[in-house]
Amino acid sequence: MFKKFRGGHLIDEYQKEKQIRKDKKALQRMIKFIIALTISLVVWLVPTTSFGIDGLTVVEQRVIATFCFATLMWVLEPIPSWTTSVLIVVILLFTCSDSALSWLVDMDEAQLGVLISYKSIMSCFAHPVIMLFIGGFVLAIAATKSGLDVKLAKVLLKPFGTKSENVLLGFLLVTGIFSMFLSNTATAAMMLAFLTPVLKSLPANGKGKVALTMAIPVGANVGGIGTPIGTPPNAIAISFLNDPAGMNMGIGFGQWMMVMVPFALLLLVLAWFVLRNLFPFTQKTIELKIEGESKTDWQSIVVYVTFAITILLWMSDSVTGINSNVVAMLPVGVFAACGILTRQDLEEINWSVLWMVAGGFALGVALQDTGLAKHLIATIPFNTWPPILMILGSGLLCYAMANFISHTATANLLIPILALAGMSAAENLAPLGGVSTLLIGVALGSSLAMLLPISTPPNALAHSTGLIEQKEMMKVGIIMGLLGLVLGYAILIVVGKAGLF
């Protein structure tokens, strides 16, 4: 077509710049990895007496070093967060387990300390909470395939009419309800798809577009608080609170929902007031047109019925006596047997999230089984700390961290340590609702961290629309974070005192 193409040098320059940026990022990741590894090795190799903990063994020191490595890797993120979790499991297996490398454990037993059962570490990949999440993921996949998500969206949004402010409330509440049972990220993506045609009909200079777009991440983040499967930090907190070898509090799925669903709904209504006042509508009415149809074949009917039965069983676990983790396997079995769940569908499950949670459970197992937990409790006088400082400080710390690193990583780091602190200071914490206030407060702090586009995937999806500036997201994030933490801790203290948690 062209005798001579004159733009070749521009393409070459672009490719060179692209490669330079790629190399620069690779170098930055390498530097971060070396920093994390160097600090962790120092902690690993210094004499055990350097820690000031009486009776600290070699295996316990290795667990401390592994914890340092996890912290630095999750904060600096030179590699994906789930990869760090897998590395944690591998490190513990090869250095701290009863199947570790022989030359690493060939020493005096008193000096070495208690080795962790390799079966206990590996079982973290099949922890009952992991099964709970798999059930949730399978429900989400089936809901999408059958069109149940579209059907529910149409039915749930219809009562809100066409008044702009009511449509905003509808998107907040419906997104929140969906994210209680489906992935926050999947819910945000789905609701943004429903919202796209609505946004096109709004005035270009109106702030209503910002309010509607922000409603999606706010609804997804807050809605996840409502159920144990709404977000990984909830499940991590429950796993420690219900641990038979630990606090053994027996908090059920329905029990959690009885307290946290009303709280989430209250927070969503408050978010409605915040958004409509910060970003008022100039157009008074909005016509919703949600594309897509629900299916009516026999497989789709099976999905509808199984979805309803699963949620009812989850909510009534205290009545039926069926553990919520066991209930989660019902949709997996039914959908697999009916051909609704296929091999390709299994590949869509967010395995990286599950593996990341498993790494946190492995750290918890290491703390308990090596005896490091007992040593830390004996060395650090948790029971002398002001309980209000322990509770509020941990929530604020979690909130601050979760705005910059993964919510799951933050919970994985803080909850195992705070579980030890809580058990040690149980009597002091009782006037403020007990240990449940401490650990569930951390889960709340992570869910409420929505300050930046990088804070959560729903935030990133909303920001990618180009309709929200970062300063607008920060404004909403700060207000919702403060409101959520104040109300959340007030409710947790009252509920804890009443013995509901």
**What is the spatial distance between Cα 23 and Cα 274, in angstroms, rounded to a whole number?**
43
Taking the model in full, what pTM does it have?
0.78
Q: Compute φ and ψ for 151, nearest 5 degrees.
A: -60, -45
**What is the spatial distance between Cα 486 and Cα 481, in angstroms, rounded to a whole number?**
9
What was the pLDDT predicted at 204? 65
What was the pLDDT predicted at 87? 93
395-444, pLDDT tens digit by residue? 888 898 888 777 888 888 888 888 888 888 888 888 888 888 999 999 99
Q: Biggest alpha carbon distance in the chain?
A: 85
Between residues 379 and 482, the one the model is more confident about: 482
**Least confident stretch, 11-15, 163-167, 189-193, 488-492:** 11-15
Between residues 334 and 81, the one the model is more confident about: 334
Do 410 and 233 form a contact (C-beta atoms < 8 A)? Answer: yes
What was the pLDDT predicted at 320? 83
113-127, pLDDT tens digit by residue? 899 999 999 998 888
**What is the spatial distance between Cα 448 and Cα 35, in angstroms, rounded to a whole number?**
30
What was the pLDDT predicted at 141? 84
**Least confident stretch, 5-19, 268-282, 303-317:** 5-19
Average pLDDT rounded to a whole number, residues 242-256: 83
Question: Mean pLDDT for the chain?
Answer: 85
Between residues 288 and 102, the one the model is more confident about: 102
DSSP annotation of 284: S
What was the pLDDT predicted at 85? 87
Average pLDDT rounded to a whole number, residues 197-219: 81
Average pLDDT rounded to a whole number, residues 155-181: 86
Question: Token pair of 261, please?
Answer: 């669903």
| Helices and strands, counts by H and E, the chain | 26, 0
Q: How confident is the model at residue 242 (pLDDT cuts 50, 70, 90)?
A: confident
What percentage of the chain exceeds 70 in pLDDT?
Answer: 93
**Least confident stretch, 91-105, 323-337, 393-407, 479-493:** 393-407
